[in-house]
Structure 1
Amino acid sequence: MKPVHLTILISLTVISLFAFTQFEQNRVIPNKSFGTGEKVEYRVHYGFINAAEAKVEIAKSVTIVNNRPCFKINVTGRTVGPFDLISKVRDNWRSYVDTSAILPHVFYQNIQENKYRKEETIVFKHDRDQAVSSIKDETKTYSVPNNIHDIISGYFFLRTLNFDKISEGEVIEVPTFFDGEVYKLRVRYVGKDVIKTKFGKTRVLRLNPLIPDNKLFKGEGAMKLWVSDDANRIPLKVQVELMIGSLEMDIKSYKGLRKDLVWF
């Protein structure tokens, strides 16, 4: 897998956390957390310096894919300010997620990072446990586990989970297909907390995505994630401890949430 820009890697990790059991055509995952028309924007910064912007948006209407109603979900990331001069990033991901099963049917990515370019479409065939990737004129079929997620659908399934049934300290392993490979992403549920944002204080769930050893992050537990402790389950803050300093992502704006966020 080609290296992904650090600020975009945060977004990928945040939205790639959870998977679920055997696919059934008529299965229904209860969802009271999100719907059409939702839009959340984030600011990524290194200290006081703005580094990037990220946006997660659900289209205002449902799209039919493979004769199934799907949420059309776009995630974009771009560098800004001094970081845009050093390492220019313009990335876009899109997933068509089954509104009932919360599974991806089609995933698309358009990566522009400095001179590197990649445009890919992946069609998920859950009845065959296959992911079919198309890049330019080349098509490859991969064998994948039951109910494999892409990097977007996993995040949205996370938002349907009942954390009251997950023990503090429990580690969840997640198979996710990305860049031609299946990865076991691991995340630990730390517990509950209260944090302060630009909108006020609010109750959150603390998660700790476990990162393999690398030269960028300071240890396996270098990433911390705070998610709203309500029906929405949206990320409000991310912090990554680097070998030099730390990178943070904070919620910048939101609209179209199914439930109002509670601030105090």
Structure 2
Amino acid sequence: MKTFTLILVSLFSFGQPMVKSKPVSTGEELQFRLSYGWFTIGRGTFKISDDYVMLDGKECLEINVEGGTAGLAGVFSRVDDRWGAIIDKDTFLPYYSYRDLSEGDYELDEKVYFDYDEMKIRFEQSTPSENKPRPTRYFDIEKSNMFDMMGGLMYARSIDYRSLKKGDTIRMDAFFDKKFYDFEMIYGGIEMIKTKVGEIYCHRVVPILEKNSVFDGHDAVTFWVSADGNRLPLKVKANMNFGTAYCELTAYKNVKSGIDFN
């Protein structure tokens, strides 16, 4: 079951003006619930390190995410995924990212290194059960603002949505799983939605997806980011070929603005 990862990938960000005051801070922790119909099928935790990590003389955020099956889903297919990154705290550009996936019989360890002096990406993968790494691959960084999954999510939360009009197109460049992506998304304006953490005004965004075997249509995913100082990723709705899945924020603490919600 790769649904949780696929939905998080849909939260990649876009090349737009950023707010001057970043909405994220060290120590932030977010809890998510993944559901299908009435059933909870997974839960995830997003955690930013309590202190900055120093790389190339710059302060960076270390982000770690854990996701796994919950409820009846765990009976049919056990998932225990971990992924994360070290990203620049100001630009959100990545220096390092990883994925450790365990999904039933499927296993994968992945490490990606971003070298901005050489403008190269070093990509390493292995399968733990085989105890044999795959050949290391290298990719050229051809654009200055090339995000990974975590950096994209952070950048999405820092966009100045107030400068956008409903229907505006949002663009970004990203690298994920050996591929470069040129994303386009449509800004849907502000609306109030009911969430697990209350009724909140949100910015609505719809990614334009490439044709694939998982999502039902090029506009199958919609996500909502809180229209406040935290820009929290509150909810994702994904119309998939087997039905509609939701990823919803259920709790948060150590956010930059406001109080904890548990």
TM-score normalised by structure 2 residue count: 0.89
**The one of 4, 14, 18 aligned to 1:18:** 14
Q: 1:262 to 1:224 in 2, by over 3 A?
A: farther
Q: Does residue 73 of the first structure (1) align with residue 63 of the second (2)?
A: yes
CA distance in 1, matches of 2:94, 2:20: 16
For residue 181 of structure 1, report the CA deviation from its aligned partner.
1.3
For residue 262 of structure 1, report the CA deviation from its aligned partner.
11
Equivalent in the alignment of 1:123:
113
Equivalent in the alignment of 2:195:
197
Bigger CA drift: 29-38 or 113-122?
Answer: 29-38
Equivalent in the alignment of 1:25:
none
**The one of 50, 63, 71 aligned to 1:60:** 50
**The one of 14, 19, 24 aligned to 1:34:** 24
CA contact (8 A) 2:197 2:250 kept: no
Equivalent in the alignment of 2:245:
247
Moved over 6 A (4+): none
Percent identical residues = 27
TM-score normalised by structure 1 residue count: 0.88
CA distance in 2, matches of 1:223, 1:29: 25
CA distance in 2, matches of 1:9, 1:42: 14
Aligned pairs (5 A) from 1:151-162: 151-162=149-160
CA contact (8 A) 2:197 2:249 kept: no
Q: How many residues align?
A: 253
CA contact (8 A) 2:10 2:221 kept: no
1:221-256: per-residue Cα shift (whole Å, max 9, x none)? 111111100121111111112334311111111000
**The one of 32, 41, 50 aligned to 2:40:** 50
CA contact (8 A) 1:19 1:149 kept: no
Q: 1:36 to 1:81 in 2, by over 3 A?
A: same
Q: 1:202 to 1:5 in 2, by over 3 A?
A: same
CA distance in 2, matches of 1:262, 1:135: 38
Bigger CA drift: 151-160 or 239-248?
Answer: 239-248
Equivalent in the alignment of 1:114:
104
Which runs of 5 or more residues in structure 2 are unaligned? 127-132
CA contact (8 A) 1:66 1:105 kept: no
Q: 1:59 to 1:85 in 2, by over 3 A?
A: same
Equivalent in the alignment of 1:24:
none
CA RMSD of aligned residues (A): 2.3
Aligned pairs (5 A) from 1:202-221: 202-221=200-219
- Report the AA paired with residue 13 of structure 2: L
